[in-house]
Structure 1
Amino acid sequence: MSAAPKVLLVEDQFELRDLLCDVLQDMGMDVRTADDGQAAMRILETWSCDVLFSDIHMPGPVDGIGLAAHLLAARPLARVILASGHPRTQLPALPAGVRFLQKPFRLVQFTELIREAQLASA
């Protein structure tokens, strides 16, 4: 049996982070959570994820785009999904291969992107 996919979930809204974490765990994922980019960077120092799901706009100096670029520099095969309440056209360019999810989103949209990322990283 293969190991559970490792997902780093970065979201500054507590209720949303809790809900998405529960969904990922119910999908059989090994999940770590962070409430901002700096906390996520600390997690990545000792734990490597297969999939990163992050909000783009968070408190602190590290946003989701910077976090994605950092992860992909270290692990080019990792899959990244970034979310934002801002329309895609109002955001800076995303790193190559990064998927975008517009907030608010339905849980089915979230789980479909996670499954795609899981399959792509397997």
Structure 2
Amino acid sequence: MQPRARKRLVVLIVEDEFLVRIDTTKTIEAAGFEAVEAGNVDEAIAILKARDDIHLIFTDIHMPGSMDGLKLAHFVRNRWPPVKIIATSGHARITESDLPDGARFLQKPYTATKITSALRELIQ
């Protein structure tokens, strides 16, 4: 009998800059997670509504759409409380108190090591 394949945890990457999104996706997949991509908040919400296997969102703060990444973080916490949240920005000065409880902030530019460490801290 073969061992069961362990299901990879799913991370939703919400980033409007294509090259940053692709690079982040590669980093997250290399860390052993499944990555799903959204180019804006509206796409992210549609994915969250359609899928029940998203474990964490990794979202940029400044994005076009009906809300920014900070508002998305609060929306996700209220609508899907078990989903973990990492917010990022190279421009905004965000403190933990700006984010929903349990969310993390990563300042851009970030490294693959910082992304992987933050993911592993939140999903234990």
**TM-score tier (shorter):** 0.7 to 0.9
2:57 is the alignment partner of 1:38: no
Q: Distance in 2 between matches of 1:115 and 1:23?
A: 13
Q: Does the 8 A contact of 1:72 with 1:78 survive in 2?
A: yes
TM-score normalised by L of structure 1: 0.86
> CA RMSD, aligned part only?
1.8
Aligned with residue 22 of structure 2, among 18, 21, 42: 18
Larger radius of gyration: 2
Task: String of CA shifts for 1:34-77, please: whole Å, max 9, x gaps.
Answer: 11101101111111311110001101222112221222223222
| Structure 1: unaligned runs, 5 residues or longer | none
2:123 is the alignment partner of 1:118: yes
Q: Does the 8 A contact of 2:11 with 2:55 survive in 1?
A: yes
2:108 is the alignment partner of 1:82: no
Identity within the alignment, % = 34
Q: Distance in 1 between matches of 2:97 and 2:46?
A: 24
| Structure 2: unaligned runs, 5 residues or longer | none
